[in-house]
Chain A
């Protein structure tokens, strides 16, 4: 059989399927006008993005950080302060936010990189909480009242809109962009190094991968992206306060990854798409009747997934017959041998071109 043709068909069909999904999502604001539902999607977008950010540290490198909300908060504060006190344009301020978070992660957090496993987690919690306490106590950061962004007319340059729909699209683009970044990392040398570090740090240094260097890269990248998400959040909510950096928020960002499947880059996306609407639905319908019952159901879902499907929903999907059905009938995915043959052919061609 013609390897190139079969694999080509598969790729085309996959692209079509994903494109169709994307189109459906992008057209949602056209058909759904309730701001409440649009808001849910915006939440899904930025929480899933933060979850993907966590995943590069937790899922890929094996370093569970429970302090990610602090970086997002710092980014949000940086943007708010730059706009209100320095009069900067928010988009420019987002770059400042990324620089600030990257510096804090790379420089101040630097000594903590030598810690492993549970110690790293504890330090990340302590670090995040210290930063939050610092902000609460500091007059410059507005203490517990936080900092607000100015209201005004709709404007793209000021990233300020009354309707939620533009935020929907920017959030969608942000999520897809971060996904592309994460997927690239996953496929290249950095991803390989991180995964090796996750499996066995000593073995990684034995084969020439410097664990500290790659851990620093992972943390700095995640902090910078978190800072950018903070910028998005600040522009959306128009307000930031220390509650954004509280421990519970950090946990909120990790749950979609754990439920969706931390081993996959798509895991947080799937997890976010399921958990966040579920949480909002529960909160809207039940919290009025019995405060707290929505979180109970949420916690039960989490416990059930961890206990019975530890590899997450995507892990379950990968093993299921549903996937086989989709692969064979809809995507016409060729067998593993054929795919490997295809990869070998591409590799040979690259060698020929190189030579």
Chain B
């Protein structure tokens, strides 16, 4: 029973990261209809950024969080403005897809060149602390990350729902042409959105440094999980992405516990396929 509870807790804590990645991916996909294939690599960039700030400026990762978020936002904005928006004109999904794929390649190999393939890590004084909640022990950094996740989710949700910019973003995601007609500057919204999505990935990376190794391909599995979360949670739905991420984390831990750790990946993917197909069937039935 204890093992079971521990697996549930671990699943939720891990799932929090999937949620965070999923929300970033969701915003980008929802507004620009492009699959951001370099989201995982952006997480990795966030990790390295945190590492640099910690090693050379002595800034604690949690304190560095806002700084990392801002830097990643600027990075995303620049990429969007220089590379993505001009290519949106071609309306070719393949092109945009491979633009982000190329970016991902550039980023992960850039990290390889700059930092080498050694695994790096950040260990602060409280990295190893665990808190015991009954039979379950939770690593302190993971708990803090989860709390940050909750705060970020609520903030994001309120932003999108209530603020003017948030409403503009939602308008553009529903109908870019109509939004332009209502004098919403669509190009600026694109920049904002992409920057926001990347900033979220950066936040996830920053939080992850406490208990995950930093290496150039660290983001790959998270990147794909982000896509799964987006699709399962529903396009454009922040709460959906939140819960889908948690469920995904749970599914992974549960299948690792009950079936086998090496099969857990496969089970996740097959479940994903089944959900996609079933949902499409339901949509088609409704028509």
Binding site for B on A (CB under 8 A): 58-59, 62, 64, 111-112, 114-115, 117-119, 121-123, 125-127, 129-130, 133-134, 136-137, 247, 251, 254-255, 258, 262, 290-293, 295-296, 298-300, 302-303, 306-307, 310
Contacts and interface: CB of A to CB of B under 8 A. Distances in A.
B144 interface: no
B215 to A, nearest CB: 12
Contacts of A111: 277
A296 B277 contact: no
B273 A127 contact: yes
B109 A119 contact: no
A46 B216 CA distance: 29
B113 A292 contact: yes
B111 to A, nearest CB: 8
A306 B109 contact: no
B1 interface: no
Interface stretch (B47-55, B177-185, B237-245, B261-269): B261-269
B35 interface: yes
A64 B35 CA distance: 12
A300 B105 CA distance: 9
Contact of B269 (A64, A118, A129, A291): A129
Contacts of A118: 29, 33, 35, 93
16 contacts: A58-B94, A64-B93, A114-B277, A114-B281, A118-B29, A126-B269, A129-B224, A129-B265, A137-B260, A291-B112, A291-B113, A295-B109, A299-B105, A303-B102, A310-B87, A310-B95
Contacts of B272: 122, 126
B112 to A, nearest CB: 3
Interface of B: 29, 33, 35, 83, 86-87, 90, 92-95, 97-99, 101-103, 105-106, 109-110, 112-113, 116-117, 216, 224, 227-228, 231, 260, 262-263, 265-266, 269-270, 272-273, 276-277, 280-281, 284
A306 B95 CA distance: 6
A177 B104 CA distance: 34
Contacts of B105: 295-296, 298-299, 302
Contacts of B263: 133, 137
Nearest to A114: B280
A121 B113 contact: no
Contacts of B116: 291
Given A122-B227, A296-B109, A115 B265 contact: no
Nearest to B263: A137
Nearest to B227: A122
Contact of B83 (A117, A251, A303): A303
Given A114-B281, A121-B35, A136-B262, A303 B99 contact: yes
A310 B117 CA distance: 33
Nearest to B107: A299
A134 B266 contact: yes
A201 to B, nearest CB: 12
